[in-house]
Amino acid sequence: MATEFEKFDAVVRKVFGVPHDEIVKREKEYQRKRKRAKQQRIKNDSRKTGK
């Protein structure tokens, strides 16, 4: 099992090991997915309620 140190080291490596441009790209992709999921949820809700 990973120790506290190993867990934290892995997170630090992950955050600082990814180039900044890649982080910005992933962030945009994540926001896009979130927005799409939210829109879908609203659509489904309005179908259920019929409004």
Nearest approach, Cβ of 48 to another protein (angstroms)?
Answer: 27
H helix or E strand, kind and range, residue 4: helix 4-17
Q: Which is nearer to another protein, 8 or 38 (CB)?
A: 8
Q: How far apart are CA 36 and CA 30, in angstroms?
A: 10
Q: Which is nearer to another protein, 3 or 49 (CB)?
A: 3
Q: Which positions lie near another protein, rule CB under 8 A?
A: 3-9, 11-13, 15-16, 18-20, 23, 27
Contacts of 2 (CB under 8 A, 6+ apart): 10
Q: Which is nearer to another protein, 8 or 37 (CB)?
A: 8
DSSP 50: T
